[in-house]
Amino acid sequence: MEQYFDNYKRQLNLLLDRNRTLKYKYAILNAVQPDDVVIDFGCGTGILGFFALQAGARHVYAIEETSIIEYAQKLAVKNNIEDKITFIHKSGKQVNAQDIPEKVDAILSEPISNLLLEGNAWSTIEYLKSFLKKDGFIIPASGTLFIVPVNTAPETFHDADSLLSGENVYNVNFLKIPHAVFYKSDGRPDVWLAKPQPLLELNLLSDTLSDTFQNSVKFTLQEPGQFVGVEFYFEVKVFENATVSSKEQMDYPSWNPLFAPCSEPRSVCKDDKLRITVHNEIISPYKEVWKIEFEHHSKLLPWTDIWWKAKAATPKLAPGVLLTKTGLLRLKQNDYNQYDCDNDLERDFVQLLPKNLNVSEICQIIAELGTYDSSLEKIQENLIKFLHRLLLNSLIDIPIPQERFLVSNFQSQIHIP
């Protein structure tokens, strides 16, 4: 990663992202005042410090730990501003009062990654705040990392560690390996299963900044389908009405939304509850592990042990309401002939729905008709699949209390190499 920022061509790609660069220039020209002193942390080519001098700053302390600082020094000479910039070739946390002998009015930086946090940049900014005047400011001002469950993986998801996973190739059976990296996503709202929720919110000036965090968010799913993973994107307020977001797809995008797969796809229903806990661990300045834990409260009918067996008198039910061991099922359509049935067994089941019967009674009646060469257990198995399909298509409501939801827990572990 140090070599990444050390590469001028990659720095050039950042500069060519006009959306990013011009919003920073707008922020600095409006925030920096004549005679201000500023820190440009992680200065790269020195562009933010150059903007500060254009705004009238008296002096810039440009901090950069990679050798790209040599190019920044040459740029300063070429633009005749070398006497107004002190270049400090070291890590931000190694900077001391000899390097910066005065309090500064502003800290300028672009410490943003696809996941908002960038290596150890945030804790470094926290350290550099000790050089900031009491009425000083920081650019960018604040940032929010959003998370949202999705029903479709990006196409690039199949290009990496899923290859050879659990397959027989070259007459060798390969182990099934977990997906362990983030994938770039295109941030399409049409694949979201719920509204995005803020996972991490930071005010760079007033909050104590750390490179690690842990937080949980809760979702009520708005769409049925397959839950395949989560998507992350950020929004950063650079200055007042100047905002950058990883959802913005420009000609030279500096950032992308990221997709993290769950351990395996899961069927979900509308109004299911999903609790997601995320925490990251820093292994080295540019290596991290993100652990994502899922708690799924599902309305799905279990495929076994579902049929209700009454030890007491069967309660009277309204037409279109079924009683199962899990709870009550209420069909949404009153015209039961409109249900999409795949076979005669399902059609016979639908014809019995208005008769105030519970699920066990309906299965027993169908079995006693003798129309099907199947046992009662086989009839039950086929009909639970039918109810399962209706539920996934939101044709059934389940008015059951929260504690009757089926709860499952699983997790993913994602690496940033």
**Which amino acid is residue 405, in one-letter code?**
F
Q: How many residues does the structure list for the chain? A: 417
Show contacts of 375-381: CB within 8 Å, 24+ apart.
379/345, 380/306, 380/307, 381/303
- Contacts of residue 20, defined as CB under 8 A and 6 or more positions apart, other chains included, come to 14, 110, 244, 250, 254
Six-digit token pair at 9?
């061509």
| Contact residues for 340 (Cβ-Cβ < 8 A; gap 6+) | none
What tens-digit pLDDT sequence spans the chain (417 residues)?
444 444 555 556 666 677 788 899 999 999 999 999 999 999 988 999 999 999 999 999 999 998 889 989 999 999 999 999 999 999 999 999 999 999 999 999 998 888 998 878 999 999 999 999 999 999 999 999 999 999 998 876 654 444 445 555 566 665 555 556 788 888 889 999 999 999 999 999 999 999 999 999 999 999 888 899 999 999 999 988 889 998 876 655 678 899 998 888 888 888 889 999 999 988 776 678 899 999 988 876 654 444 445 454 555 666 677 766 666 677 776 677 777 888 899 888 888 877 777 777 888 889 888 888 888 888 888 887 888 787 777 777 766 555 556 778 888 888 775
Neighbouring C-beta atoms of residue 302, cutoff 10 Å: 13
pTM of this prediction exceeds 0.75? yes
Task: Give the pLDDT of residue 327.
Answer: 64
